Structure 1
Amino acid sequence: MDGNMEIHRVALYNNPNIGIYSRADDEFLLLPSGFPLEKGRRLADLLGSSLIEISVAGTRLLGPLSVMNRSGVLLSWMADEEELSALRRAMPGRAIERFRSRATAVGNLLAANDRGAIASSSLGAQELSQIRDVLDVEVEPMRVAGFSQVGAVIAANNLGALVHPLASDDELSRIAEVLRVRDVDRGTVNEGVPFVSSGIIANDRAVLVGSKTTGPELFIVSKVFKGG
């Protein structure tokens, strides 16, 4: 990726915590059902992705309730059959399953790209096996900055990963190794929020950040998501 990766400050529903409402990769941008279509298409165009509007468990909370990469999508166990079917129709060729876990917020327990996945240390062998099968990547359970909710404290594409500011050097090294990214760094979004995935929607072409993200925060985001 060259130095021209675009970064855009945006808000969804007048909220800078854009990551809680969305999932994205190079092919698709997922936004909540009923999101204004014209704005959704503009955001998808910024990412070079196709727009899909979907709900999970009847809610807008796509970030906490889903994880996806180019191989598959895991939805919270609360997702209903209609939502599963709609996503399977919209994303043919991807494995799309409910996460077989008592945990509701799969998106907070897993950080993944197309090359690897960091999973919460609270997940068991069967849950890790399903993650491997659906996302078709190796999975490393760990805590990051003292948190088991690794999906909340890591935001990644296939080039880099932004991590909670209290993550250790060893944790950064392990994240880089598992996700096979060129750059990993500590940072925040939206004026100091350490739960970085709440304020980022990214693929390998562009990054959308929450509207309150500051200049110094943007500098780190820009460096990380274009791979250093």
Structure 2
Amino acid sequence: MESRPFSLADWHRFLFGNASWPFLLEVLMRTGVTYVLLVIAMRLLGRRVAAQYTLFEISIVVTLAAAIGVPLQAANRGMLPPLLIALVAIGLQRLIARAGINHRQVETMVATDVTPLVREGRFEAAELKRAAMPREKIYEAMRLAGWQHLGQISRLYMEPSGSFSFIPARPAKPGLSVLPEIDEELRKESRVDGYCACLTCGNTVRATQAEAHDCNHCGAHDWTYAVTEVERR
């Protein structure tokens, strides 16, 4: 159908396009059916999908959204195709989930595996590169969790959902500060004399070892002062 030129007085076309007034009632019915379909689909997918998404769960949700979005607004599209697409997506998800219970390789293939980013207060450079994870993102996550420096962390894992898990070091040792540089006052307040931290990996050594030496963990040669936790008041 040939489109008409735009006119400020043509509010019907502006609001409804080429659809008729009765189509609004059909839209209401389609929306109701879609809502029920999504509720059933999410219920069948399980609580796991309602939590933080992995890459596989995101792909399932995007598939459902793409299948259902068009029929809501297009009068020439029926509701049976999105129903079939939803059933296939749900069946695929449940099949892979069941297979992942007995075969961990299946689970890690579709949802990735846990990635250790920090060990004993030091970044794992190879894992950071593989996960394409910038250090500033980790610093942000640590600050949000209440950590002040890498020496407080024994292990930091990135979960398949993209969230971070922390295992504290017992006891904590001096480490690389994760506080922002704009808060230099607090950073200096937490400074530990006699220790230096590698700016690249967070490896902490005595200042005498750092003088004119490269880091024995990552080979970098940029050092800064190490810090300890500042007690909260």
Tell me whether the two structures share a fold, i.e. TM-score over 0.5.
no
The structure richer in helix per residue is: 2
Greater strand percent: which structure? 1
Q: Which has the higher contact order (CA 8 A, sep 6+)?
A: 1
TM-score normalised according to structure 2 size = 0.21
